[in-house]
């Protein structure tokens, strides 16, 4: 009869195997000590990164100082005063009930006057801007003037209208220099490139055209919009064109290859205006769905959607230097100022109760809004204070109802404002000499 082997060695080997199995899957009860974890981490860092802690001398010589320099002086830490054990008792004894004191004002009217004075001292004083007056009226189009753009050299400007013609005008004299035909419907958007001899146009015929101004003919078409194209904008630094229209989308095009880079989808109605700037948000759109969207150009996605407007947003204006923009719609509180890059709401421009078709702003802070009923307003952009209200005078022979302002732009100096309207004329306004 054979005897059983001793159990002790078997148990030891079995336990050792079990430990080996579970050691590779440590659970919460098998945490390593903090000291050994630190040691393991320092060995790993030293092993993997010791050659990269400092750059080689040639590369180090090329490096400029990064970020702001540290302050030289030693900062002093605030030290607590002498503490006593009965501080908590003293705090407990403090009575929070405020004592009633008699008003120093003899009557309620005096108090209201003081409050009024306090309110007036707090308001920011607007910058003085001289009034603007109508300097020139240019006739020549046979339809509503829907778009205007000034060339970067400030010698001429282009207008597009319901007569399907783009006209180039001399800015100084107002004389017609050239007429470009090719669109088969209203020309709704124009932009002149600052870096190429190109003029871009878009219209209700779904077409986006690139005109070579050295040959005065179309050299490229950008096909993709499913309906009328209402607005276009050129990126200031990239060879990129952004268009928007009635198919509720904005489209980003490579200017040279005609390739469609992005379809900026998300709006649920006509995208009436689009603007571009160098820094984020590089593309801003305003739509008839009463929202404004800020877009990430690299990803082709919405960064922020602004839902403050109650009615359709028809116009946008980016300030040339301040890193902010304004949007205009219909109804009360219909012009709003926003801060970039997050689209933070700043304030309303209150007082122009009309459907706002166009907005423009110059570097001096003169902000212009043009209404569908022919009303014009000039504002101080910094404070939102209106300094002038005018009415667009329809030309003799046109209907009284044809007093709408559809498009506007300041010239490159910011001293002249060009508007296009429903009476088929172009009007140029300038600051009155003091």
CA 295 from chain centre, in angstroms, equals 9
Cβ-proximal residues to 53 (8 Å cutoff; 6+ apart), any chain: none
User: Contact, 281 vs 341, CB < 8 A?
Assistant: yes
pLDDT (mean) for 31-59: 75
Average pLDDT of the residues of the chain: 86
Q: How many Cβ atoms from other residues are within 10 Å of residue 132's Cβ?
A: 20
* Structure confidence by residue, pLDDT tens digits, 170-206: 999 999 999 999 999 999 999 999 999 999 999 999 9
234 touches 244 (CB < 8 A): no
The pLDDT value recorded for residue 220 is 95
Residue 127 exposed, middle or buried by CB count within 10 Å (0-12, 13-18, 19+): middle
What is the rounded CA–CA span in Å between residue 235 and residue 359? 19
HSE (side-chain half, CA atoms, 13 Å) at 100:
0
Q: How far apart are the first and last CA of the chain?
A: 128
Give per-residue pLDDT as tens, 161-171.
999 999 999 99
Query: Comparing 48-62, 66-80, 129-143, which segment has the lowest mean pLDDT?
Result: 66-80
Distance CA(220)–CA(226), nearest Å, equals 18
Higher pLDDT among residues 227 and 8, named by residue? 227
User: With bands split at pLDDT 50, 70 and 90, how would you rate the model's confidence at 280?
Assistant: confident
CATH superfamily of 183-356: YVTN repeat-like/Quinoprotein amine dehydrogenase (2.130.10.10)
What is the share, in percent, of the chain residues with pLDDT greater than 70? 81
Tokens standing for residue 149: 């753009």
133 in Cβ contact with 432 (< 8 Å): yes
Token pair 């690139």 is at which residue?
Answer: 210
Residue 168 main-chain phi, psi, to 5 deg: -105, 125
Contacts of 185 (CB under 8 A, 6+ apart): 164, 203, 204, 205, 228
Q: How confident is the model at residue 429 (pLDDT cuts 50, 70, 90)?
A: very high
Residue 354 has pLDDT above 50, yes or no: yes
Q: Are 208 and 222 in contact (CB under 8 A)?
A: yes
Which comes out higher in pLDDT, residue 80 or 252? 252
């Amino acid at each position: 009869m054979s005897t059983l082997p001793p159990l002790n060695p078997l148990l030891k080997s079995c336990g050792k195997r079990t430990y080996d199995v579970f050691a590779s899957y440590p659970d919460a009860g098998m945490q390593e000590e903090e000291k050994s974890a630190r040691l393991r981490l320092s060995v790993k860092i030293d092993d993997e990164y010791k050659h990269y802690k400092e750059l080689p001398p040639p590369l180090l010589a090329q490096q400029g100082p990064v970020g702001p320099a540290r302050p030289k002086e030693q900062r002093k830490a605030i030290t607590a005063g002498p503490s006593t054990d009965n501080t908590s008792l003293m705090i407990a004894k403090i009575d929070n009930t405020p004592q009633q004191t008699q008003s120093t004002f003899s009557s309620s009217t005096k108090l209201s006057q003081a409050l009024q004075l306090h309110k007036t001292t707090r308001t920011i004083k607007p910058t003085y801007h001289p009034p603007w007056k109508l300097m020139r009226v240019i006739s020549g189009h046979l339809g509503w003037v829907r778009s205007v753009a000034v060339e970067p050299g400030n010698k001429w400007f282009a207008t597009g209208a319901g007569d399907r013609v783009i006209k180039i005008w001399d800015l100084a004299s107002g004389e017609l220099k050239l007429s470009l035909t090719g669109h088969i419907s209203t020309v709704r958007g124009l932009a002149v490139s600052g870096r190429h001899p190109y003029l871009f146009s878009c219209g209700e015929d779904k077409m986006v055209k690139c005109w070579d101004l050295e040959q005065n003919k179309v050299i490229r078409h950008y096909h993709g919009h499913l309906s009328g194209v209402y607005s276009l904008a050129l990126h200031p630094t990239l060879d990129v064109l952004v268009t928007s229209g009635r198919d509720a989308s904005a489209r980003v095009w490579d200017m040279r290859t005609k390739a469609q880079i992005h379809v900026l989808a998300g709006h649920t109605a006509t995208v009436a205006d689009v603007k571009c700037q160098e820094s984020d948000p590089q593309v801003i759109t305003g739509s008839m769905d009463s929202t404004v969207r800020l877009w990430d150009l690299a990803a082709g996605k919405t960064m922020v959607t602004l839902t403050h407007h109650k009615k359709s947003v028809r116009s946008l204006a980016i300030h040339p230097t301040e890193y902010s923009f304004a949007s205009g719609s219909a109804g009360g509180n219909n012009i709003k100022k926003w801060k970039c890059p997050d689209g933070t709401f700043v304030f309303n421009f209150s007082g122009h109760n009309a459907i706002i078709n166009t907005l423009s702003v110059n570097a001096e802070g003169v902000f212009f809004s043009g209404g569908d009923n022919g009303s014009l307003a000039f504002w101080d952009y910094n404070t939102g204070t209106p300094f002038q209200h005018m009415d667009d005078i329809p030309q003799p022979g046109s209907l009284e109802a044809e007093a709408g302002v559809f498009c506007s732009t300041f010239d490159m100096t910011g001293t002249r404002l060009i508007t296009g309207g429903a009476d088929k004329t172009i009007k140029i306004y300038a600051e009155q000499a003091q």
